[in-house]
Amino acid sequence: MKTRILHTILIAFVAMVVVACSGKKDEKPSPLVEKATETATQAAKKLVETSHDDTLAMQNCILEAKVLQAEFQVAEDTAAVNAYNRAFKKYLQENDPSLAKEIFVERPKDLPEGEPWDEFEQWVEDEE
């Protein structure tokens, strides 16, 4: 059950990252990119350092990361939002690959282009 709750939180975060990254074409140079990268790296570091058995603490870290990202979304700074998302994902991939794989579930390769993908169908039921 704990795993399912964590997956729900992680999927919500991934959805937020995917939506934010989809606007990369409209990026304009931004002075906030460096700040966004540093902020995301610190948020990801905090998540990695949190006990993975403590789902409430992990949930709090993910929510804090979303709040930090929202600063750049409110400023409508696409370049900073994308820099935040890339830095967050990169840190996790480099420092906790198994957590990164759980958070950033890849789209199935055999799914036709343009076909919507429902990440929730990818869940594996917990063994009880």
Q: 26: exposed, middle or buried (C-beta count within 10 Å: 0-12, 13-18, 19+)?
A: exposed
For residue 117, what pLDDT is reported? 63
Within a domain: 27: no
Number of CB atoms found within 10 A of residue 108's CB: 10
* Segment 68-99, tens digit of pLDDT: 999 999 999 999 999 999 999 999 999 999 99
In a domain, 53, yes or no: yes
Q: So what's the pLDDT on residue 101?
A: 86
Answer whether 11's CB lies under 8 Å from 119's CB.
Answer: yes
In a domain, 122, yes or no: no
* Model confidence at 2: pLDDT above 80: no
pTM of the model: 0.67
Question: What's residue 62's pLDDT?
Answer: 92
Does residue 123 lie within any of the structural domains? no
The whole-number average pLDDT for the span 40-69 is 94
Rounded mean pLDDT of 39-61? Answer: 95
Give the closest residue to 6 by CA, choosing from 118, 108, 128, 126: 126
Amino acid identity at 61: C
In a domain, 91, yes or no: yes
Tokens representing 43?
Answer: 């948020």
| Within-domain flag for 52 | yes
CA distance 49 to 121: 29
Question: To the nearest whole percent, how much of the chain has pLDDT over 90?
Answer: 52
Does any domain span residue 45? yes
Domain of 86, in residue numbers: 2-20+32-104
pLDDT, residue 48, reads: 96
- Counting the structural domains of the chain, the total is 1
Provide the pLDDT confidence category of residue 123 given band limits of 50, 70 and 90: very low
Q: Is residue 109 part of a domain?
A: no
pLDDT confidence of residue 87: 95
